Amino acid sequence: MLDLISEGKIFKSGYHLVGGIDEAGRGPLAGPVVAACVVIGPNFQIDSDELKLVADSKKLSPKKRELLFKIIKEKVEAVEIGVVNNRVIDKINILQSTFAAMRQSLERLTLQPDYLLIDGNLKLPGVKQEQKAVIDGDAKIFCIAAASIIAKVSRDWLMLEADKKYPEYEFAQHKGYGTKRHLERIKEFGPCPLHRLSFAPFTIKKDKKKSAS
């Protein structure tokens, strides 16, 4: 079970609201990257059996993630997401798009945190708050793990909608990740408007065309 030791140290240092930020969807071949910011205050407690289940979203079943999505939104001070689509990813790259989605989640909050905990090894550029980047933060720190759940569930819902529009790619099954079945669908139908053309296998095909010319 995750604790609130890291957040507690920040509150003891004089900060009032801590925002945990994480993303979902850096690796897929299709769809957006989605980030979430989860804000907690000094009085927040892990006071229910459901909140004790909060962990890195990758370690939870879809059913548990959806349950925790609702509980987190009810219990924390504030939650927001940011979404950056595949066209922007192709234009500015996935790292800058991830940063953009994170900033978007932060900017949309009506209640602004004064300290940020960011999942990963890089701080978030272009923000005024004090911050700390935490490698594997979604497995170590409660508010980052909570953000990972919000981001993952939100992105999965977007990909379920994408499945309705482009059923031949079966996005509901793989959520845009490069599974064997997804690659087979791409081979048969080519890319759709949601695919990231700056990602392999699309870039590999471009390179082959260049070398043949």
Per-residue DSSP letters for 90-116? HHH-HHHHHHHHHHHHHHT-SS--SEE
Examine residue 212 and state whether it is found in any structural domain, yes or no: no
Examine residue 202 and state whether it is found in any structural domain, yes or no: yes
- Reported pTM: 0.94
Kindly list the averaged pLDDT for each block of 10 residues, start to end, along the chain of length 213: 96 98 98 98 96 95 96 98 98 98 97 98 97 97 98 98 98 98 97 97 63 45
What DSSP element (H or E) covers 132? strand 130-134
- The pLDDT, as a whole number, for residue 138 is 96
21, 106 Cβ separation under 8 angstroms: yes
Q: What is the CATH number of the domain that holds 36?
A: 3.30.420.10
- The pLDDT, as a whole number, for residue 211 is 45
| CA geometry: angle 193, 196, 143, nearest 5 deg | 115
Examine residue 211 and state whether it is found in any structural domain, yes or no: no
**Residue 195 DSSP code:** B
d(C-alpha 170, C-alpha 168), whole Å: 6
Examine residue 91 and state whether it is found in any structural domain, yes or no: yes
Examine residue 147 and state whether it is found in any structural domain, yes or no: yes
State how far the alpha carbon of 184 is from the alpha carbons of 110, 114, 178, 179, 201, in Å: 44, 47, 10, 9, 11
What DSSP element (H or E) covers 19? strand 18-24
Place of tokens 């170590």: 140
176, 25 Cβ separation under 8 angstroms: yes
- The pLDDT, as a whole number, for residue 10 is 98
Other beta carbons less than 10 A from residue 128's beta carbon: 9
How many structural domains is the chain composed of?
1
Examine residue 213 and state whether it is found in any structural domain, yes or no: no
Examine residue 83 and state whether it is found in any structural domain, yes or no: yes
- The pLDDT, as a whole number, for residue 205 is 55
**Owning domain of residue 131:** 5-206
- The pLDDT, as a whole number, for residue 208 is 52
Say how far residue 190 (Cα) sits from the centre of its chain.
26
Examine residue 67 and state whether it is found in any structural domain, yes or no: yes
